[in-house]
A and B are shown apart, each in its own frame.
Chain A
Amino acid sequence: KAGVTQTPRYLIKTRGQQVTLSCSPISGHRSVSWYQQTPGQGLQFLFEYFSETQRNKGNFPGRFSGRQFSNSRSEMNVSTLELGDSALYLCASSLGPLGYGYTFGSGTRLTVV
């Protein structure tokens, strides 16, 4: 079965712009979570969606937002990009509320210049 698909794989944006990243979970998985990975901070939790509802949110500014659609696909948006937003953004899906194993996508590498 297909894995978690994230698009695009690479993205270069300019400071001040906004960006939308997409994640298609494994078929049947209803929970989608987003993480930001940087060399200095490691993997940091952004938010989790289950059945179109945001269940949990990490400590990120309001510029970071997300949503989940009825087909479980999810998008995250970052507005007013800053240089420090350069990171690998990872999406993970699981059958239900997390705790028993994620399947991660390959990530979107965002570079802000």
Chain B
Amino acid sequence: TQLLEQSPQFLSIQEGENLTVYCNSSSVFSSLQWYRQEPGEGPVLLVTVVTGGEVKKLKRLTFQFGDARKDSSLHITAAQPGDTGLYLCAGSGGAQKLVFGQGTRLTINP
């Protein structure tokens, strides 16, 4: 069974600080996705990474896929209150179903 572990589960920081969220597994994934979910809504895809070592940037968000394609990180620079939400990583493997991590609930305080 493929599992994805996210850390931390909860993170509360002040506006302007930097943060990193981690997503780890013992399994290899063919691709890894990051989503952000607002209360009462479905997750929204932020990025997909498919190549080991790949780094993608989305404004103040930087996503990295581990060389062995078993882990990923999301780094936010100068966090803003609008970044508040539930961040989910999800991996796609050979079973062709998406496995989600438990999520990181991020709160940015003004």
Interface residues of B in 24-56 (CB under 8 A from A): 30-31, 33, 35, 40-45, 48, 50
CB B81 to nearest CB in A, in angstroms, measures: 22
Q: With A and B bound together, what is the CA distance between A104 and B42 in angstroms?
A: 5
Q: A43-B88, A98-B92, A100-B48 are in contact. Are A105 and B99 (CB under 8 A)?
A: no
Interface string of A43-67 (1 = CB under 8 A from B): 1110010000001101000000000
Q: Choose one: B48, B96, B100; the contact of A101 (CB below 8 Å).
A: B48
Q: Is A103 an interface residue (CB 8 A)?
A: yes
Q: Is the interface of A mostly helix, strand, loop or mixed?
A: strand
Q: With A and B bound together, what is the CA distance between A103 and B44 in angstroms?
A: 7
Q: Choose one: A99, A102, A106; the contact of B96 (CB below 8 Å).
A: A99
Q: With A and B bound together, what is the CA distance between A101 and B30 in angstroms?
A: 12
Q: How many chain B residues touch A (Cβ–Cβ < 8 Å)?
A: 24
Chain B residue numbers with a CB within 8 Å of A99 are 30-31, 92, 96, 98
Q: Are B31 and A100 within 8 A (Cβ)? A: yes
Q: Is B95 an interface residue (CB 8 A)?
A: yes
- Which residues in B have some Cβ–Cβ distance to A below 8 Å? 30-31, 33, 35, 40-45, 48, 50, 88, 90, 92, 95-103
- Which residues in A have some Cβ–Cβ distance to B below 8 Å? 4, 33, 35, 42-45, 48, 55-56, 58, 90, 92, 97-107, 109
